[in-house]
Amino acid sequence: MPFVSSLRQAEYSYGEGLHGGGEMITVAKQHSQVYANIDFQVADVLKWDFPVEQFDAIASIATFHHLPLENLLPSLKTALKPGGKFVILDLVQPETIQDRLSNVIAVPLNWIWQILKNRNIKQSLKAKAAWQEHFRTDKFLTLSQARRIYTKTCPGAKIRKHLFWRYSAIWEKPAA
């Protein structure tokens, strides 16, 4: 589970980042060198022993579509302190005509973004092969599926759709 590396020292004294692959941990460490308060671990989040009520915040970007959300959410809930929040940004499967129309806008904007960010739109053969392997485990939820799962486990969770095939889920654990 990639941890948002913009954890600010002023707000949190310690952060933990988990990911199942060592290469992603290496990249995260490189991008987070200015933050001495983040510990990165190679770990299977589904088998990780979440501490009880230890985290003020839990964040994940584009990871949950690889995981059984129904199994993971109770662990995240337990790990949050009362008043703690989780903030999830993940990919969503189009389900309505409106979703498909927003894709008409998102596709060219995504190409423009890729050109600006990477200076081209083409990928190397190695990158294409890596993405092909990566997509093998993808299971995208529709927005209504995401709403149903999150609100069942975390009543009051706010689920919103965003451009570029994304949705966010934000939930605050009630204070004790």
pLDDT at 4 over 80: no
- Domain total of the chain: 1
In a domain, 93, yes or no: yes
Residue 76 lies in a domain: yes
d(CA 149, CA 164) in angstroms, rounded, equals 22
Question: Residue 103: pLDDT above 60?
Answer: yes
CATH label of the domain that carries residue 98? 3.40.50.150
Of 8-12, 56-60, 151-155, give the lowest mean pLDDT range.
Answer: 8-12
pLDDT of residue 22: 65
**Which of these, 6, 72, 70, lies nearest to 44 by C-alpha position?**
72
Asked whether residue 153 is assigned to any structural domain, the reply reads yes
Q: What is the pTM of this model?
A: 0.79
Residue-number span of the structural domain to which 157 is assigned? 50-172
- Cα 51 from Cα 48, distance rounded (Å): 9
CA 155 – CA 118 distance, rounded (Å): 40
